Amino acid sequence: MSSSNASASSKPLRVAVVGATGAVGREMVKVLHDRNFPVAELGLFASERSAGKVQETPYGALTLKAFDAAVVKGYDVVLLAVSGDFAKAHAKDLASAGALVIDNSSAFRYDADIPLIVPEINAHVFREAYAAGSRLIANPNCTTAIAVVALGPLHKAFGIKRAIVSTYQATSGAGAEGMAELEEQTRNQLDGKPVTNSVFRHPIPFNLIPQIDAFQENGYTKEEMKVTWETRKIMEVPDLPLSCTAVRIPTYRAHSEAITLETIQPVTPDAARAVLADAAGVKVVDDPANGAYPMPLNATGQYDVEVGRIRNNIVFGDHGLDLFVCGDQLLKGAALNAVQIAELAL
Amino acid sequence: MSSSNASASSKPLRVAVVGATGAVGREMVKVLHDRNFPVAELGLFASERSAGKVQETPYGALTLKAFDAAVVKGYDVVLLAVSGDFAKAHAKDLASAGALVIDNSSAFRYDADIPLIVPEINAHVFREAYAAGSRLIANPNCTTAIAVVALGPLHKAFGIKRAIVSTYQATSGAGAEGMAELEEQTRNQLDGKPVTNSVFRHPIPFNLIPQIDAFQENGYTKEEMKVTWETRKIMEVPDLPLSCTAVRIPTYRAHSEAITLETIQPVTPDAARAVLADAAGVKVVDDPANGAYPMPLNATGQYDVEVGRIRNNIVFGDHGLDLFVCGDQLLKGAALNAVQIAELAL
């Protein structure tokens, strides 16, 4: 099922995108336009370095402005595609001025009083907080957002007792520079030239890197723990035993995840498929005999998260379900989800 | 710990490699030479089409011969790097003539009376069968061979109750043609030319394919079930609950695997590292703070399987262990293991 678009009849709003030149910022602008978000005025904010430059957008060529908190406070909706440090410095100030601030960084995701929202799963949390005056909302980690659109409905239907996730993450998770490094260095390798790396810790062409973000005390990376912490918060299961191994692979912008579940209720593949077929934001792609299963090749540029390879698993039997999901890291993993949150306020 | 080389003092043997022009066959010849296998005469056999052609080897330029069962029967050791159908047609006949036949196909791996051997794990099974006159030995699936060098010692030390494996498999699993398709089609994509696929079911550049081999009734692929069936047989745990998701990614010749274990005894990462540090065929690469973990970039061309990312896992607590392994698909996954089996007979 596709996500529904915003009503064009809503009162137009002044929308600011901060970090507008980055991979996520650019997608935010495209998604606002594509979903007919009621935009009265669009402000694109970036660093001093980019200020004055013109950026092509679906709204026409727009001039980038240097971020100025006093100016951005005047907007109704502020989408932050910035670093955690920048968000920490400005997000609360902007929100207290009345703007609805949706932050794509991890700065506030784990604060108990700040909602972390995937609209298909916990829109009610947004609505309650918004009605009570909350104006700062956290947008989740890309891997988490892509997983929970499938895990949420499965949890509601069957109960998830444990989950094990192995990821196949695209270079876009490191921004436009990550994708550029993949392309340039792959070309170098094919041409027999030296292969270097600056965005990633190791060369990425024809390789994989089982590290995303910094290592924690417990041997997991922060990226892996984000999937645990954020899935628990979004699905409102504070102690869900969920383990993740996060791996960067040489793909551009769609993340895939192999997920093994132990369920509380018995589950069949057909029952799981029926639940997922009705789930918002999910597209069941599960006709293996005809070679149909989730792949970056097809999920790239799509709003829906593809889910397939659905089967009872050998380890947990009729209380076990395996699935493979694939979603666009820049869309459901970032820009789309942020715009969907803004739509909840319309 | 590295695997020990064959003793050069053994009586020299006549060795045939059947399927000598393929990716695995070529590696078998290199490994025989590199490990000083006592070769009295090396016969390279291939299809009629290749017969008469000259192949460069570490033993010099050798002329390929068309396969002729009557001729191959005269060899002491026959390494088969051929299809399952070809193996079914000839392997038993060759073995009954007295040659030690080591078959890299899946044709005989699941026959109760045919040993399936990874020397580091179950050399005793080979020795008993060989002493009793068995001359046909199955070489395991690449993903299985790479996993069990780590799982075997961990099982002996802590007991494995359940295992969940997600793979990141290289294109070499589809032979030299698979690697060539990755290279050619990646170049096409970078050059803006049409990207096609013939070896793989879908285009592989900057993509992944969550299907390797054919789908089975239970929703798993045959590749995935091979990992379950073969791990059970090699580790002698006939009902081990092990689930695999097998995924092809755009890498050349090293397979990686994210493995989650529930153990019978409690386990700590340090205890697991100590066990693995003493394990034959394993190289512990586990210094995450310094960016050291298993990767195709480093595991390619190496005999040892790299093991790292060792940690207690969140799902099974102190009875849970996560690890990431990476091994050369053509070496431990095929040619090296076959030659190691032959070494057991010296």
Q: What is the DSSP letter of B141?
A: P
Mean pLDDT over residues A322-337, rounded?
A: 98
pLDDT at residue number A10: 79
Report residue B266 as tokens.
């409690």
Q: Give the pLDDT mean for A319-338.
A: 98
What are the tens digits of pLDDT across the range A88-130?
A: 999 999 999 999 999 999 999 999 999 999 999 999 999 999 9
Residue B7 lies inside a defined structural domain of this protein: no
Are the beta carbons of A258 and B182 separated by less than 8 Å? no
| pLDDT, position A4 | 47
Q: Is the pLDDT of residue A7 over 80?
A: no
Residues of A in contact with B316 (CB under 8 A): 241
pLDDT at B5 over 80: no
> Is residue A261, in this structure, part of any structural domain at all?
yes
pLDDT band at B262 (very low <50, low <70, confident <90, very high): very high
Distance CA A284, CA A307 (A): 5
Q: Which of B165, B193, B195, B208 to mutate to test the interface with A (most CBs of A within 10 A)?
A: B208
The per-residue pLDDT for range B220-232, each reduced to its tens digit, is: 999 999 999 999 9
Residues 6+ apart with CB under 8 A from B124: none
Neighbouring residues of A228: CB distance < 8 A, sequence distance ≥ 6: A220, A240, A242, A243, A244, B314
* ipTM rounded to 2 decimals: 0.96
Residues 48-77 of B with CB under 8 A from A: none
Q: Mind listing the pLDDT tens digit for each residue in A263-316?
A: 999 999 999 999 999 999 999 999 999 999 999 999 999 999 999 999 999 999
Considering the domain architecture, whether residues B112 and B155 belong to the same structural domain is answered as no
The CATH number given to whatever domain includes residue A44 is: 3.40.50.720
User: Is residue A215, in this structure, part of any structural domain at all?
Assistant: yes
Measure the CA–CA gap between B131 and B12, rounded to whole angstroms: 20
Percentage of residues in chain A having pLDDT higher than 70: 97
pLDDT of B10 reads 79
Considering B142, B155, B244, B319, which one is annotated as catalytic?
A: B142
A23 lies in some domain: yes
A105 and A196 share one domain: no
Alpha helices in chain A (DSSP H): 23-34, 69-72, 84-96, 119-131, 142-158, 175-190, 222-235, 269-277, 296-299, 336-344
Cβ-defined contact of B260 to A289 (cutoff 8 Å): no
Adjacent-strand bridge partners of B164 = B243, B260
Instruction: Indicate if the pLDDT at residue B336 is higher than 50.
Output: yes
Residue A3's pLDDT is 44
Would the pLDDT of B3 be above 60? no
Range of the domain at A100: 13-140+334-344
Q: Are B271 and B279 in contact (CB under 8 A)?
A: no
- Write out the DSSP string of A175-230: HHHHHHHHHHHHHHHHTTPPP--SSSSS--TT--BS--SPBPTTS-BHHHHHHHHH
Q: Do B288 and A215 touch (CB under 8 A)?
A: yes
Same domain as A209, residue A308: yes
Q: How many domains does chain A have?
A: 2
The alpha-carbon gap from B279 to the nearest alpha carbon of chain A, in Å, equals: 22
- DSSP state at residue B4: P
User: Quick check: B250 and A324 CB within 8 A?
Assistant: no
For residue B290, which residues of chain A lie inside 8 Å, CB to CB? Answer: none
**A193 touches B at CB < 8 Å:** no
Residue B90, pLDDT score: 98
Give the tens place of pLDDT for each residue, A15-55. 999 999 999 999 999 999 999 999 999 999 999 999 999 99
**Residue B225 corresponds to which tokens in the numbers above?**
């079930």
Token digits of residue B197: 């696929």
Residue of B265, B266, B284 lying closest to B274 (CA atoms): B284
What residue in A sits closest to B171 (Cα-Cα)? A206
- Compute the average pLDDT of residues B280-292: 97
Q: Any known ligand binding at A24?
A: yes
> What pLDDT is attached to residue A86?
98
Greatest CA separation found in chain B?
60
Band of pLDDT at residue B111, cut at 50, 70 and 90? very high
- What distance in Å separates residue A228's CA from the closest CA in chain B? 9
Q: Is A273 annotated as a binding residue?
A: no
Are A155 and A249 within one domain? yes
Answer yes or no: do A179 and A322 share one domain: yes
Q: Which two tokens stand for residue A94?
A: 């902007």
List of chain A residues whose C-beta atoms are within 8 Å of the C-beta of residue B202: 291, 295, 297
Please tell me whether residues B176 and B297 are part of one structural domain.
yes
Shortest alpha-carbon distance between residue B220 and chain A (Å): 7
Cα four-point dihedral sign B18, B19, B21, B24: negative
Q: Which A-chain residues 119-178 have CB contacts (< 8 A) with chain B?
A: 162-164, 166, 168
Task: Clarify whether B255 is annotated catalytic.
Answer: yes
Mean pLDDT for all residues in chain B: 96
On whether B186 is known to bind a ligand per the annotation, the reply is no
CB contact under 8 A, A168 and B208: yes
How sure is the predictor about B9, in pLDDT bands with cuts at 50, 70 and 90? low
B121 pLDDT above the threshold of 60: yes
For chain B, say whether A295 makes contact (Cβ under 8 Å).
yes
Specify whether B52 is located in the same domain as B171: no
Task: Indicate whether A192 and A325 sit together in one domain.
Answer: yes
Q: Check whether residue A168 and residue A73 sit in a common domain.
A: no
B318 part of contact set with chain A, CB < 8 Å? no
- Confidence grade of residue B1 (pLDDT, cut at 50, 70, 90): very low
Residues of A in contact with B209 (CB under 8 A): 295
Note the pLDDT tens digit of each residue in A228-250: 999 999 999 999 999 999 999 99
Question: How many residue pairs from chains A and B have C-beta atoms closer than 8 A?
Answer: 166
Within this chain, do residues B181 and B320 fall inside the same structural domain, yes or no? yes
A131 with A175, same domain: the answer is no
Return the pLDDT at B80. Answer: 98
On the question of pLDDT at B179 being above 90, the answer is yes
Of residues A210, A219, A289, nearest to B294 (C-beta):
A210
Q: Which residue in this structure is represented by tokens 């076959």?
A: B338
Are B150 and B134 found together in one domain? Answer: no
| pLDDT-derived band at A5, boundaries 50, 70, 90 | low
A90 counts as catalytic: no
A6 belongs to a structural domain = no
3-state secondary structure of B260: strand
Domain CATH for A318: 3.30.360.10
Q: 3-state DSSP call for residue A2?
A: coil
pLDDT of residue A2: 41
Chain A contact set for B295 (CB, 8 A)? 202, 207-210
Contacts of residue B203 in chain A, CB cutoff 8 Å? 297
Mean pLDDT of all residues in chain A?
96
pLDDT in tens, B141-172: 999 999 999 999 999 999 999 999 999 999 99
Does residue A264 form part of some domain?
A: yes
In which band, very low, low, confident or very high, does the pLDDT at A165 lie, cut at 50, 70 and 90? very high
- Kind plus residue range of the DSSP H or E element containing B86: helix B84-96
Residue A91 lies in a domain: yes
**Cα nearest neighbour of A161 on chain B:** B315
Give the chain A residue whose CA is nearest to the CA of B313.
A243
Q: For residue A272, is it within any domain? A: yes
Furthest C-alpha separation in chain A: 60
Question: Could you tell me what percentage of chain A is helix, strand and coil, using 3-state DSSP and rounding each to the nearest 5?
Answer: 35, 25, 40
